[in-house]
Structure 1
Amino acid sequence: MSAPQTRPRVEALGRSAARGGVVTLAGQGIRALLQAASIIVLARLLGPTDYGYVAMIGAVVGAATILQDFGLSRAAVQAPSITRGQRDNLFWLNLACGAAAAAVVVAGAPALAAFYGEPVLVDITRWLAVPFLLGGLAAQFRASLMRDLRFTSIVVIDVAASAVGLVVAVGVAVLDGSYWALVAQQLVTAGVLAVGSVVAARWLPGLPRRQESVRSFISYGLHQLGAQLLTYASMNADTVVVGARFGTVSAGIYDRAFRMMMLPVRQLQYPVTRVAMPVLSRLQDDAAAFGAFVVRGQVILLNLLAPAMMLTAAVAEPVVEVVLGQRWLDVAPLFAVLALGGVFQAATFTSGWVFMATGRMRSQFRFALWSRPLVVLAVVLGSLWGVMGVAVAYGTTSALLWPVSLWWAGRAAGLPARQWLLSGCRTLAAHGVAALCAAGVVRLVGPEAPWAAIGLALATAVAALALEALVWPAFRRDLRDVARTRSLLRRERVAAG
C-alpha cells in the first residue's frame, strides 16, 4: 500500500479509535466506580469465608469461561472479512461450547467439593455453571458489535450488567448475609450481558451452513484457546494453592488482595484492548504504522496504570483500611506485593495485541506452553513460605516474563522489540521512583489517619513526577504523548456531541 493511500486510512482508523476510546473509557470509568462500590459495600456485608468459597470455585471452573468462547469471538473480530453464513456457523459453535462447558462444571461439582473438602461447594458450583451457557450464547453477538466498532452499545450493556448485578448482590447480602449474594451477582450480570448483546446486535442466526467454511476461525481459536487456558491456569494457580493448603479464610483474604490489584488492571485492559484490536487488525499490512501504534499504546497504558498500582502498593495499609475496613487489614501486605507484580502483568498486554492482531496464535501458544507452567511451579514452591510466599512468587514471575514476552511477540511479528522495551522500562522506572518517594515520606511522617496518609502520598508522588519530567526529556515526551491523546479524545467528544 502506498504512503498516500496509507495515511488517510491510518488517520480514519485513528479517529475511530479516538471515538471508541472516548465512549469506552467513559463507560469503563462508570464500571470502575460500580466495581469499587461492590468491593467496598459487599466487604462490609460479607466475610472472608464467603469470598473464600466463591474464589476457590472461580479459580478452577473459571477455565470454562475460556472454553465457552473457544477463541472464536476473537477470531471473528480479527478476520479481514466474514460472511453471514460464517457468522451463523460460529454462533452455533459458540453455543455448543458454552453448553459443553456448563455441563462439565455441573458434572464436576462433587469432585471439586471433595478436592477442597467443602461439601457446600457442590450447589454453588452448579449454579455458577449457568453463566457459561449464557456466555456461549452471547459470544458472536458481542463479536459482531466489536467488529462494527459499536463501542457505545457495548459500553451501555456492560454498565447496565454491572449495575443490575451489584443491586441484586447487595439486596441478597442484606437479606441473607452469605455467599449467595456473590453467586447471584454473577448470574444476573451474565444474564443482562447476554440479553443486551442479542438485542443490540440486531441479527438472528440462521441454521448452520455446511458450505460456509470456518476452518480458519477454528484454527485461530484453537491456538488462542490453548494460550488462554495456560495463562488462566497460571493466573489462578495461586488461589487454588492458597485454598487447598491454607483453607477458606486464607483464600478469602488472598482473593480480596488479588481482586483489588486486578481492579485497575481490568478497567484499562478491556477498554484499551477493545479499541486497539480492530485498529491493529486493519494495520497488518503497514508495518511502520502498526509498530508505532503498539509502542504508543504501551506508553499510554503504562502511564495511566503504573502510577495507580505503584502508589497504592506504597500505601497499601491505609488504602485497604479505607476500601475494605479494619477487619481486612491482613490483606494489605499481600495487596502491596501483588500490585507491584500486576504492573508487569499489565505491561504484557501489548504483546498479546500483537499476537492476536497479526494472527500469530501458534507463536503465542508456544510461548504460553513453556512460560505458564513456570508460573505454576513458582507459586507451588512459594507456598512453602506461606500465603505471602505465593504472592511473592506470582509477582516475581510476572516481572521476569514481561521482557521475554515482548521479545517473543516482536520476533513472531517482525517488530523490533528494543524501543518497545525501553519505553516500558522508562515508564516503570519513573513511576517506581515516585512511589518510593511517597512511601518514604509517609513512613517518615507516619500519620495515623488513613485519608491523610493517602493524600500525603499522592502529593509527594505528583511532586516527584513533576521533577522527573523537568529533568528527563524522554519521560517528558511520553507524558506529552499521553496529553495529546487526551486532547484528541476531548476533541472527538466535542465532535460527537
Structure 2
Amino acid sequence: MSEAATRPRADALGRSAARGGAVTLAGQGIRALVQVASIVVLARLVGPADYGYVAMVGAIVGAATILQDFGLSRAAVQAPVVTVGQRDNLFWLNLGCGALAAVAVLAAAPMVAALYDAPVLADITRWLAVTFLLGGLAAQFRASLMRDLRFTAITVIDVAAPTLGLLVAVWVALADGSYRALVAQQVVAAVVVCAGSVLVARWLPGPPRRREPVRSFVSYGAHQLGAQLLTYVSMNADAVVVGARFGAAPAGLYDRAFRMMMLPVRQLQFPVTRVAMPVLSRLQDDVANFGRFVVRGQAILLNLLAPVMLLGAATAGPVVEIALGAGWLELAPLFAVLAVGGVFQAASFTSGWVFMATGTMRSQFRFALWSRPLVVAAVVAGSLWGVVGVAAAYGIASALLWPVSLWWAGRAARLSWRPWLVGGCRTILAHGVAAGAAAAVARGLDPAGPWLTLGAALAAAVLVLAAEALVWPAFRRDLGDVARTRTLLRRR
C-alpha cells in the first residue's frame, strides 16, 4: 500500500460522487422506513416509562458520542492528503477517546441514577457505555470508507445496523417488554456498525508513529467539538429537565414526540446538506452567487420540510393514533408544539452551511457560546408550565434564534442576510396558512376516525397551497425551484 492516500482521478470523481449520491439517497429512504417501523412497532411493545428511562440516560451520556470522535473523523475526510502514518495515529487517538468516553460513562452510572432518583438507570448507563468504545474503534475505518468514496459499503452498513437492531429489540420486547429491548437495539446497532466498518475498510492499523504529525487534525476537531457540545447540551436540556422534574413516564412521552418530530428533519438534513456543501465551497469566492444559492437552498429545504412539520402539528391527533396507537394520544399536544418549533430549527441549518463552507468555524463557536445557554435557560423556565411548557419554550427559543443565526452567519461570510430571512418567512407563512386550514378541517372531522380526518385535512392543505401558488408569484417561484432542484444544481 502506498504511503499517501490520494484522491481519485478528477475524471472519475464526478461519476463516483453521482453514483454515491444515488446510493446514499436510496439508503436514506430505507433507513427512514426502518426508523418508522421502529417507532410504530416498539411503541406497541414497550411502555412510556421504559422509553423514559432510556431517554433520561441518553440525554446525559449522549454527549460522550461527540467526545469519542473529537471531530477527528471529519478532519480526516476533509484533509487533502492523509498518510498511512497519520491514519494510524488518528485511529489510536479515536480509540483512546472512545475508551475514555466509555470509562467516563461507566463511572457516571451511579450519579445518573442519583440525579433522577431511579436506581434502574445505573444498569442502562453501564450497557450504553459499550457503544462509545465501539464508536471510537470504528471512527477512522468509516472515515477511510468516505475518503475512498465507498458509499455503497457505507450505505449497506448504515442500513444493516438499525435493521438488525430493530429485529433484536422486537425479539427482546416480546420476551421481556421492558427497557432492555431499547438498550439491546442501541448496542446491537453499534456492534454492526463497528464490525462492518472494520471488515470492509481493508486495512489494519499499525503502531503509533511519532514522526507523523496530526496537530492540524486535532485543531480542526477541537473547534468542531466546542460548537457540537454546546449544541448537544441545548438540544437535550429539555429531555433532562422533563425526566428530572416529571419522572419516567412523561419523559417517555416527550421522547417519542421529539423523535417523531425529528424523523423528517434528519432524513432530509443529511442528503440536502451533502449536496449543498460542495457547491457552496466552490462558490465561496463568488459572493453574489454564494448568497443566491444559500437563499435558494433554504427555500428548497423549507418547502420540503415545512409542509411535513406544520401539517403534522395540525393533524397531531390522527398522526399519533395511526403511528403509535390510541394509547399514546396523550403525546399529541407535545408533538404539535415540537413540530412547529422544529420548522425554525430546520431553518437554522442553512446558517450552519455558511459557517462550514466559508471556514468560519470560530465565528460559529462564538455564536454557540452565548446562544445555546439561552436555550437551556428557556427550557428550565418553561418547565414551570409543565411538559408542554418545556416543548413550547424550546420552540420559541429556536424561532427567536433563527434570524439571529442568519445575521451572525451573514456577517461572518459578508452576505446580506435580509433576502435570506424574507425568503424563509415567506415559506413558513405560506405553509402555516395551509396547515391552519388543515387544522380547521381536522377539528371538524375528529369523530370520523383518524384516517378520514387525516385525508381530508391533507386535501384542504393542498387546495390552499395551490391557491397561494396562483396568487403569490414569489411563492410560486420557490415551488418551481424545488421542482427544478436537479437542473439548478447541474447549472451551478
- What code does the residue aligned with 1:87 have? R
TM-score w.r.t. structure 2 length?
0.92
Structure 1 Cα separation of the partners of residues 484 and 18 of structure 2? 11
- Kindly report which structure 2 residues correspond to 1:27-176, keeping only aligned pairs within 5 A, or say none: 27-176=27-176
SS in 1 for 2:82: coil
User: What's 1:22 paired with?
Assistant: 22
User: What's 1:403 paired with?
Assistant: 403
State the identity %.
78
User: What's 1:4 paired with?
Assistant: none
Q: CA deviation at 1:259?
A: 1.0
Kept in 2, the 8 Å contact 1:220–1:359? The answer is no
CA 1:433–1:34 in 2, change beyond 3 Å: closer, same or farther?
A: same
SS in 1 for 2:213: coil
User: What's 1:240 paired with?
Assistant: 240
CA 1:90–1:285 in 2, change beyond 3 Å: closer, same or farther?
A: farther
SS in 2 for 1:45: coil
Q: CA deviation at 1:188?
A: 0.8
**1:252-276 CA distance string (max 9 Å, x none):** 1111111111111111122333444
- Kindly report which structure 2 residues correspond to 1:296-311, keeping only aligned pairs within 5 A, or say none: 296-311=296-311
User: What's 1:201 paired with?
Assistant: 201
User: What's 1:435 paired with?
Assistant: 435
**1:461-497 CA distance string (max 9 Å, x none):** 111111111222222222222112257899xxxxxxx
Q: CA deviation at 1:143?
A: 2.4
CA 1:349–1:295 in 2, change beyond 3 Å: closer, same or farther?
A: same
User: What's 2:467 paired with?
Assistant: 467
TM-score w.r.t. structure 1 length?
0.91
User: What's 1:357 paired with?
Assistant: 357
**1:41-60 CA distance string (max 9 Å, x none):** 00000101110110000000
Moved more, 427-436 or 61-70: 427-436
User: What's 1:225 paired with?
Assistant: 225
- What code does the residue aligned with 2:369 have? L
CA 1:180–1:60 in 2, change beyond 3 Å: closer, same or farther?
A: same
CA 1:243–1:436 in 2, change beyond 3 Å: closer, same or farther?
A: same
**1:196-222 CA distance string (max 9 Å, x none):** 222333333333222222222212211
CA 1:258–1:108 in 2, change beyond 3 Å: closer, same or farther?
A: same
Q: CA deviation at 1:401?
A: 0.8
User: What's 1:485 paired with?
Assistant: 485
User: What's 1:269 paired with?
Assistant: 269
Higher RCO (C-alpha 8 Å, min separation 6): 1
User: What's 2:4 paired with?
Assistant: none
Q: CA deviation at 1:278?
A: 4.7
- What code does the residue aligned with 2:426 have? R
Q: CA deviation at 1:439?
A: 0.9
- Kindly report which structure 2 residues correspond to 1:248-327, keeping only aligned pairs within 5 A, or say none: 248-281=248-281, 283-288=283-288, 290-327=290-327
Structure 2 Cα separation of the partners of residues 452 and 394 of structure 1? 32
1:455 aligned onto 2:432: no
Structure 2 Cα separation of the partners of residues 23 and 276 of structure 1? 17
CA 1:15–1:355 in 2, change beyond 3 Å: closer, same or farther?
A: farther
1:366 aligned onto 2:371: no
- What code does the residue aligned with 1:144 have? S
Q: CA deviation at 1:298?
A: 2.0
Structure 2 Cα separation of the partners of residues 72 and 430 of structure 1? 41
User: What's 2:413 paired with?
Assistant: 413
Kept in 1, the 8 Å contact 2:441–2:453? The answer is no
Structure 2 Cα separation of the partners of residues 99 and 377 of structure 1? 32
Tell me the C-alpha RMSD between the 2 structures. 2.4
**1:433-479 CA distance string (max 9 Å, x none):** 11111112222344430011111111111111111112222222222
Moved more, 461-470 or 207-216: 207-216
- What code does the residue aligned with 2:350 have? T
Structure 1 Cα separation of the partners of residues 463 and 355 of structure 2? 38
Structure 2 Cα separation of the partners of residues 375 and 396 of structure 1? 9
Q: CA deviation at 1:354?
A: 2.2
Q: CA deviation at 1:412?
A: 1.6
Kept in 2, the 8 Å contact 1:85–1:212? The answer is yes
For structure 2, list consecutive stretches of 5 or more residues without a partner in the other structure. 1-9
- What code does the residue aligned with 2:307 have? P
User: What's 2:3 paired with?
Assistant: none
Q: CA deviation at 1:94?
A: 1.2
Structure 1 Cα separation of the partners of residues 441 and 394 of structure 2? 28
Aligned length: 482
- What code does the residue aligned with 2:361 have? M
